[in-house]
Amino acid sequence: MKPNRFLILCTAVLLLSACTSGKSPAPNTVQPLSPSAPANPTPEVVLPFPDDTETVSQTPSPDLAYETMPETSLPPEPEPSLMEPELPSAPLQAPLNLPDGISTNITHPEAEEILTELYRLVSESADAAICFTDAEEEFFFGIDENRTYHSASTIKAAYCHYLIASGTDPDLQLTLTAITRSSASGMLGPGSLGNSFTVSELIEYTIRHSDNQAYRLLYDTFGTDDYNRFMTDAGAEGLCLTPESEWAYVSPAELSHIMAEICRAETDSSVLTEHLKNTTFNAQISSGTAYETAHKYGYNGGSDGYHDTAIVYAPGRPYILTIMTHIDFSASDDPNGLFRSAAALCDRLHAALFGDS
pLDDT band for position 123 (cuts 50, 70, 90): very high
Residue 265 has pLDDT above 70, yes or no: yes
pTM of the model: 0.73
Is 356 in a helix, a strand, or coil? coil
Quote the pLDDT of residue 182: 52
326 lies in a domain?
yes
Give residue 345's pLDDT: 98
* Mean pLDDT, residues 192-220 taken together: 95
- pLDDT of residue 293 exceeding 80, the answer is yes
Integer Cα distance of 139 and 124 in angstroms: 25
Q: What is the domain extent for residue 177? A: 103-354
pLDDT at 42: 43
Asked if residue 176 belongs to a domain, the reply is yes
Do 168 and 222 form a contact (C-beta atoms < 8 A)?
yes
pLDDT, position 74: 47
Average pLDDT value for residue range 296-308? 92
Whether 235 and 260 have beta carbons less than 8 Å apart is answered as: no
Residue 159 domain-assigned (yes or no): yes
* Contact call for residues 254 and 155 (beta carbons, < 8 A): no
Q: What is the pLDDT of residue 97?
A: 85
Question: Residue 330: pLDDT band by 50, 70, 90 thresholds?
Answer: confident
pLDDT > 90 fraction of the chain, expressed in percent and rounded: 61
Say which residue, 6 or 65, is predicted with more confidence. Answer: 6
d(CA 219, CA 245): 9
Model pLDDT, residue 94? 53
Look up the CATH number of the domain holding residue 336.
3.40.710.10
Q: What is the pLDDT of residue 185?
A: 58
Q: Which has the higher per-residue pLDDT, 327 or 25?
A: 327
CA distance to 90, 100, 341, per residue, from 106 (Å) = 16, 14, 20
Domain tally for the chain? Answer: 1
Of 227 and 265, which is predicted with more confidence? 227
pLDDT at 331: 81
**Average pLDDT of the residues of the chain:** 80
Q: Does residue 35 form part of some domain?
A: no
* Run of H or E including 163: helix 155-165
Q: Is residue 177 part of a domain?
A: yes
Q: Does residue 285 sit within a domain? A: yes
- Find the radius of gyration of the CA atoms of the chain: 47
pLDDT tens, 187-203?
A: 888 888 899 999 999 99
Inform me whether the pLDDT recorded for 241 exceeds 50: yes
pLDDT digit string, tens, across residues 156-174: 999 999 999 999 999 999 9
Q: Is residue 270 part of a domain?
A: yes
Q: How confident is the model at residue 179 (pLDDT cuts 50, 70, 90)?
A: confident
Confidence band of 55 (pLDDT split at 50, 70, 90) = very low
Residue 103's alpha-carbon distances to 74, 130, 187, in angstroms, are: 55, 11, 41
Assess if residue 252 is contained within a domain.
yes
Q: How confident is the model at residue 236 (pLDDT cuts 50, 70, 90)?
A: very high
Supply φ then ψ for residue 35, to 5 degrees.
-60, -30
Evaluate if residue 117 carries a pLDDT over 80: yes
pLDDT at 284 over 70: yes
Residue 204 to residue 272: CA distance in whole angstroms: 8
Return the half-sphere exposure (C-beta side, CA atoms, 13 A cut-off) of residue 319: 30
What's the residue count for the chain? 357
Contact 286, 297 (CB under 8 A): no
Strand segments, DSSP code E, in 28-176 are: 103-104, 129-134, 140-143, 149-150, 173-175
pLDDT band at 352 (very low <50, low <70, confident <90, very high): very high
Higher pLDDT, 73 or 277: 277
| Confidence (pLDDT) at 98 | 85
Residue-level pLDDT at 46:
35
